[in-house]
């Protein structure tokens, strides 16, 4: 069964090009033109990924992303920004977007991003070994859920992928560039702020004191690592 993608873009010509290109790659793609319709679709059908423009009539992409994360936390979301505004990218990531693309873009780039996100999503769900526990943090690869002290932590797909990548390689320090290549799945040169935002979101969810992390630690001037015990 092919992956099902929802394209949300109020510019019909762009949306139709994206839909056609994704279907040409073997995906099942549906197209809607506003935020309300997107949320209705997501609540009625199962999607493997949402390609979401920020500039939408009515509810904008930020509002839609926030609602997706509230009720459908595991669906990967790639946001499309109309211009290269750092604040738009950071806001999108803070709201739980897994990736972003800046207009104007090439269709080839969009397809590559989609493939990378879906590949990582499938790899996470098929990881060997059903559970991994380090300290009070436990992850279940079958359900793609994380727990702290037995209590469920709501993580997005990308947050879960980053957390499990670090946990499986405890005490190993990774640079931002390395994490982008390994967890995001392709060359993401020049966008290392993405990692910082995602690390901050993870710390806010799993650390007792995010300002003084016990688990996800920083090696100054080098990168990040998951601190193991013993």
In this structure, which topology does domain 129-226 adopt according to CATH?
A: Arc Repressor Mutant, subunit A (1.10.10)
Helices 61-71 and 35-44: angle between axes, nearest 10 degrees: 20
- Bridge-based pairing of strands 151-153 and 145-148 is antiparallel
CA distance 37 to 23: 21
CB 33 within 8 A of CB 16: no
pLDDT confidence of residue 82: 72
CA distance 196 to 64: 23
pLDDT confidence of residue 190: 46
Q: How would you write 9-63 as a 3-class SS string?
A: CCCHHHHHHHHHHHHHCCCEEEEECCHHHHHHHHHHCCCCEEEEECCCCCCCHHH
pTM: 0.74
pLDDT confidence of residue 127: 56
Q: In angstroms, how far is the first alpha carbon of the chain from the final one?
A: 44
For residue 229, the 8-state DSSP code is P
In this structure, which topology does domain 4-124 adopt according to CATH?
A: Rossmann fold (3.40.50)
CB 161 within 8 A of CB 183: yes
CA angle 16, 22, 26 (to 5 degrees): 135
pLDDT confidence of residue 87: 67
pLDDT confidence of residue 230: 46
CA distance 49 to 120: 12
Q: Which helix (H) or strand (E) holds 148?
A: strand 145-148
Which residue's structure tokens are 């499938």? 122
> What is the three-class DSSP state of 208?
coil
CA distance 195 to 223: 10
* CATH 1.10.10.10 residue spans of the chain: 129-226
Please report, to the nearest 10 degrees, the dihedral formed by the alpha carbons of residues 28, 32, 33, 36 taken in order.
-140
CA distance 90 to 41: 26
Per-residue pLDDT of the chain (230 residues; tens, 9 = 90+): 689 999 999 999 999 999 999 999 999 999 999 999 999 999 999 999 999 999 898 899 999 999 998 888 788 999 988 766 666 777 778 888 888 888 888 899 899 889 888 887 776 665 555 889 999 999 998 888 899 999 999 998 889 999 999 999 999 999 998 998 888 876 554 467 888 989 999 999 999 999 999 999 999 989 999 998 64
Sign of CA dihedral 101, 52, 99, 116: negative
* CATH 3.40.50.2300 residue spans of the chain: 4-124
């Amino acid at each position: 069964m092919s992956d099902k993608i929802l394209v949300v873009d109020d510019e019909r010509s762009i949306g139709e090009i994206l839909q056609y290109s994704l279907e040409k790659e073997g995906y099942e793609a549906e197209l809607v033109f506003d935020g309300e319709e997107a949320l209705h679709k997501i609540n009625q059908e199962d999607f493997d990924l949402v390609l979401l423009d920020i500039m939408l009539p009515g509810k904008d992409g930020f509002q839609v992303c926030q609602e997706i994360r509230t009720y459908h936390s595991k669906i990967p979301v790639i946001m499309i920004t109309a211009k290269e505004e750092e604040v738009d990218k950071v806001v999108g990531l803070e709201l739980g977007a897994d990736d972003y693309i800046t207009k104007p873009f090439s269709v080839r780039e969009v397809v590559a991003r989609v493939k990378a996100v879906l590949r990582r999503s499938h790899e996470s769900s098929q990881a060997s070994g059903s559970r991994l526990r380090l300290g009070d943090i436990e992850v279940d690869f079958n359900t793609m859920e994380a727990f702290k002290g037995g209590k469920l932590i709501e993580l997005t797909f990308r947050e879960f992928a980053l957390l499990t990548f670090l946990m499986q390689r405890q005490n190993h320090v990774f640079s931002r560039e390395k994490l982008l290549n390994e967890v995001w799945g392709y060359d993401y040169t020049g966008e290392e702020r993405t990692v910082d935002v995602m690390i901050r979101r993870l710390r806010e969810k799993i650390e007792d004191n995010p300002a003084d992390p016990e688990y996800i630690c920083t090696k100054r001037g080098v990168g990040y690592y998951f601190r193991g015990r013993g």
